[in-house]
Structure 1
Amino acid sequence: MLRSMYSGIGGMRNFQTKLDVIGNNIANVNTYGFKKGRVTFKDIASQTMSGASSAQNNRGGTNAKQIGLGAAVASIDTIMTNSSLQTTGRLLDLGVDGDGFFVVKNGNQQYYSRAGNFDIDSVGNLVNSDGLKVQGYAMNPTTGLPNTSKLVDLSIDKNATILPQATTFAKYAGNLDSNAANGTSYSMDMTVRNSLGNEIPITVVFTKQNATDWNVDLNTTAAGYAVTDAAPLFTVRFDATGKAVPVGNAGNYTITSPAPASPITLNNAALDFSGLTQTAAASSVSVKEKDGSAGGSLTSFTFGQSGEITGVFSNGQVKTLGQIALATFSNPGGLLKAGGNTFQESNNSGIPNVSTPGNSRGVVQAGTLEMSNVDLSEEFTDMIVAQRGFQANSRIITTSDQILEELVNLKR
């Protein structure tokens, strides 16, 4: 009799736990990046009244007689299924299309989150809604690739500037008239920049030497600037089809500027005339590509699918400012909920595998946020089941109490 009462008490306690979890799920139905919980039950020890017996010569075997002693909570699981991404259009809202977690840091403690509603604090740090700093990789200034050996606090300095870049390369395209007489010159104007970003007007003069060769000379009339030629002058040579062929020019052109700007040296590797042709058409040459830029300040930034933060500067230059890191776990369901839409590593989650977005980690979708994976229809159904289970277990107690009352009333 008492066994049934304690079984009923245990069942009521279990369903109360299930209702607590359901209530938390429903409360977080609109929490970005929230992962719902689920309660499962198991039976606990059974009292064996008699053991099982094996078959004998004249009699078959019998099963054991056991009375169960109730149920207990088997697990409270965190369901890590991905939810849909909601479009917000906000630049700093990031969603992960994959299994990865954002890495955020509070002092020396590292946390993991699926909620990407980030912001920029007063000193430029990229932070979540609780001020935890988003982790990622700094860019190697030499290779332009992320330094994945160490996580750093990502920052976006809206007052960032970029230094000017001197011209080191120019590629030409167009045609030189094959019918032009020897000694005929064709001039085109272009600009280059020195180490301080000053724009220098340059005239490029092509002079026909013979049926296949044109000499190239550079000069400028800008005050304070000069072009010196290290002989011989560059030669552009064409084959019988009018296509430019390599010559191996040995000289170079040095453009000097007023101090403290450094001189610009353009050699055979810097000036590319391979895009020119020599046909029976009027001469027309233009600059197809060139580098060099003035200094600039940050005007905007974007997040790419690979997590890179790309800054656009007022001089038209584009520079990668950093790259967001994502973490995966061998058992993400083993993570501990730490509050504030964050998780912590546990003994059963496995160590974090942190790297750049891609593969199973997924990609970053800017302007979106992951919604909660709570399904209200499922939660309300489970709530009804839990409520009825609680009521049924309460009936066990009241029925057992009534029988005990009858026993007590046997002796009046």
Structure 2
Amino acid sequence: MMRSLFSAVSGLSSHVGMLDVIGNNIANVNTVGFKAGRTTFEEALAQTIRSSVGSIGSRGGLNALQMGTGTRLAATDPLFTQGGIEATGVSTDLALEGSGFFVLNAGDQYLYSRAGSFRLDSSGRLVSSTSGLAVQGYTYDPKVQAFGTQFGDLAIPITEMEPARVTSDISIAGNLNSDSQPLGQALQSAVLYHIDGGTVDSTTKLLSLGTGGEALLQDGDTIAISAQVNGTGYSAEVDVSGNTTLADLMSALQSMLNEDPEVSGTTVSLDSQSRIRIDTPASLGTTAAIDALTMRGMGADDNLRIDFGSSLEMETLQEARDPIAVTQDLTIYDSLGEAHTLTIELTRVLGENAVSWTAKVDNGEVRVLQGGSGRIAWNSDGSIQGLSYNPEGDKIPAGIQLDFGNGSTSPVSMNLDVGTQGTFSGLTMLSSETQVIANQDGYSAGEFVDFQFDQNGIIHGLFSNGVQRPIAQVAVARFANPSGLTREGGSLFAFSPNSGSPMVAPPESHGGLTIQPGALEGSNVDLAEQFTQMILAQRGFQASARVLTTTDEILSDVINLKR
């Protein structure tokens, strides 16, 4: 009889404990990083009245006779399910997605938390906004471009300067138009015919030219020729008589053009298709170009845009293209962080898929010791074949070598990169618009301006010179049995023998773990589930109380038997 009393009391006690856990869960429904607890009951010690007996001969065995003594609270385990991610917009707030804990320095020990509400203290350390404990992480070493292997207090170097970096690599990308050919190609194209339909040669009389059986010129007409060469005008006249031939017209045109020394050596001829062809020497490069050509005083066919009035305007049908002549300016830096202008000029090589290049700095004020010129070639498909430097003596430079002459490190060697051989990754030569972009890796000194986190917990520093580089990384710990951690209050957990040793590493080393900057992980308490558990706890408590009152009534009846 007394056992039922003790069993009922144990039921009351256990369900009160269950209500305590539920109440704590509900109270922390809005606590950042809180992990709900779960109660587990177990049967209390059973009292054995009679032990079990095995069968003997024809007599069967007997089971043990045992009486339970109630229940007890066996465990209150934290549930480390993922809480909801809530954006805050605060740059130092961090939310963990996946299994892991932030590591905090408590002096004599490390504590662990899912609450990522952090801020900077007066010394620039990243600390918990609730406990003030310093967040642990790894410092970035820009000299070796790697993070350290030992974690410590994570600090933001708000007073740090980013030193200047001298330019060492220059890359050129884009496209050069493969259709662009040097001067020396046909400038003027026009097919002329006799009135009777025959083709034209240099001895053809001008009076016999015409279309549709109609003469274009008459005896006594004057052909006025004018041309523009780099914006300068030139003119000539040819009087037409019965003996004036096409050769006379071409001779007058050639004499007029050769008056300008910039296009001296220009020839005028008739090609195999009876077209007037004007050729300028290829050696002229980009120094001269015939902009326009007009002849008046004769008619022509539609291709020559005939004006059947008093004159004919004959404009160029095919202009010679300038060779690829690209001038690309790029700001580079010396070891002092001073800026200089590097000018690279690209000029098409006649008849080849190649350009020659030259480099100068600050309009020639900075000495180019080696590698100031060379050649870039392409394969027939437009992919890069390679870049070379012009030999200097018996040596072939390995890069552009400069002497800035201002007290900075000298000499400085810069590598010129136009892409990987056989690929289209850099500078191509295709039949499309010419567009060239140059980049380099140097910069001037800069002051620390701001910082931001990424999903691997890396803190990127932003500097006034435009440089963005890692400065530190948050450390994250994992445990074999996170439920074995002990609660320390303040959403903090401590290592215990049953949790396993902490495995501290960068976030990317823990599979399936990311960090959301500017957000916090909310409580994982499910109110609907907690209310359901509350009902179960209440009913369990009521049932145990009923056993207690029933037993009390029976005991009262037993006492009354004596009366």
Distance apart, 1:67 and its partner CA: 1.3
Amino acid at match of 1:201: T
Distance apart, 1:120 and its partner CA: 1.2
Instruction: Find the aligned partners of 2:500 and 2:145 in 1 and give their Cα distance.
Output: 32
Contact 2:359/2:373 (CA < 8 Å) preserved in 1? no
Instruction: Find the aligned partners of 2:182 and 2:430 in 1 and give their Cα distance.
Output: 8
| 1:265 paired residue number | 412
User: For residues 371-400 of structure 1, what are the alpha-carbon distances to aligned partners after superposition, in whole Å with 9 as ceiling and x for unaligned?
Assistant: 211111221222222223223223333333
Amino acid at match of 2:8: G
Instruction: Find the aligned partners of 1:71 and 1:286 in 2 and give their Cα distance.
Output: 81
Distance apart, 1:328 and its partner CA: 1.2
1:40 to 1:169, Cα distance in 2 relative to 1, 3 A? same
| Range with greater deviation from structure 2 (344-353 or 100-109) | 100-109
1:240 to 1:364, Cα distance in 2 relative to 1, 3 A? closer
Amino acid at match of 2:451: F
Contact 1:102/1:327 (CA < 8 Å) preserved in 2? yes
Work out whether 1:397 is the aligned partner of 2:397: no
Query: Which structure has the larger Rg over C-alpha atoms?
Result: 2
Amino acid at match of 2:453: F
1:280 to 1:115, Cα distance in 2 relative to 1, 3 A? closer
Contact 1:183/1:208 (CA < 8 Å) preserved in 2? no
Distance apart, 1:239 and its partner CA: 5.9
Distance apart, 1:111 and its partner CA: 1.0
Distance apart, 1:112 and its partner CA: 1.1
Contact 1:178/1:278 (CA < 8 Å) preserved in 2? no
| 1:320 paired residue number | 470
- Please state whether the residue corresponding to 1:337 is helix, strand or coil: strand
- Please state whether the residue corresponding to 2:472 is helix, strand or coil: strand
1:247 to 1:157, Cα distance in 2 relative to 1, 3 A? closer
Could you state the TM-score of these two structures normalised by the residue count of structure 1?
0.87
| 1:46 paired residue number | 46
Contact 2:450/2:463 (CA < 8 Å) preserved in 1? yes
Contact 1:183/1:209 (CA < 8 Å) preserved in 2? no
1:61 to 1:192, Cα distance in 2 relative to 1, 3 A? same
Distance apart, 1:202 and its partner CA: 3.1
1:203 to 1:131, Cα distance in 2 relative to 1, 3 A? same
Work out whether 1:343 is the aligned partner of 2:493: yes
Work out whether 1:179 is the aligned partner of 2:324: no
Structure 1: unaligned runs, 5 residues or longer: none
| 1:219 paired residue number | 360
Contact 2:182/2:285 (CA < 8 Å) preserved in 1? no
Contact 1:182/1:208 (CA < 8 Å) preserved in 2? no
User: Aligned runs of 1:194-233 on 2, under 5 Å?
Assistant: 194-206=334-346, 215-221=356-362, 225-230=365-370, 233=373
Instruction: Find the aligned partners of 1:242 and 1:54 in 2 and give their Cα distance.
Output: 94
Distance apart, 1:364 and its partner CA: 0.8
1:192 to 311, 332, 335: 332
Distance apart, 1:13 and its partner CA: 1.6
1:51 to 1:156, Cα distance in 2 relative to 1, 3 A? same
1:221 to 1:45, Cα distance in 2 relative to 1, 3 A? closer
Amino acid at match of 2:161: T
Distance apart, 1:182 and its partner CA: 4.0
Distance apart, 1:350 and its partner CA: 0.7
- Please state whether the residue corresponding to 2:528 is helix, strand or coil: helix
Amino acid at match of 2:182: N
Contact 1:100/1:360 (CA < 8 Å) preserved in 2? no
| 1:368 paired residue number | 519
| 1:2 paired residue number | 2
Give the number of aligned pairs: 407
Work out whether 1:381 is the aligned partner of 2:532: yes
1:311 to 446, 457, 461: 461
1:404 to 1:19, Cα distance in 2 relative to 1, 3 A? same
| Range with greater deviation from structure 2 (383-392 or 162-171) | 383-392
| 1:168 paired residue number | 168
1:16 to 1:228, Cα distance in 2 relative to 1, 3 A? same
Contact 2:448/2:464 (CA < 8 Å) preserved in 1? yes
Instruction: Find the aligned partners of 1:6 and 1:279 in 2 and give their Cα distance.
Output: 93
Instruction: Find the aligned partners of 1:230 and 1:398 in 2 and give their Cα distance.
Output: 104
Contact 2:333/2:340 (CA < 8 Å) preserved in 1? yes
User: For residues 240-286 of structure 1, what are the alpha-carbon distances to aligned partners after superposition, in whole Å with 9 as ceiling and x for unaligned?
Assistant: 6776533643235443335432236235xx1124555678999x674
Contact 2:181/2:350 (CA < 8 Å) preserved in 1? no
1:393 to 1:122, Cα distance in 2 relative to 1, 3 A? same
Could you state the TM-score of these two structures normalised by the residue count of structure 2?
0.65
Instruction: Find the aligned partners of 1:373 and 1:41 in 2 and give their Cα distance.
Output: 22
Distance apart, 1:68 and its partner CA: 1.1
Instruction: Find the aligned partners of 2:437 and 2:355 in 1 and give their Cα distance.
Output: 17
Instruction: Find the aligned partners of 1:168 and 1:33 in 2 and give their Cα distance.
Output: 47
User: For residues 103-157 of structure 1, what are the alpha-carbon distances to aligned partners after superposition, in whole Å with 9 as ceiling and x for unaligned?
Assistant: 111224111111111111111111112111111212243442333x211221223
**What fraction of aligned residue pairs are identical, expressed as a percent?**
36
Contact 1:226/1:256 (CA < 8 Å) preserved in 2? yes
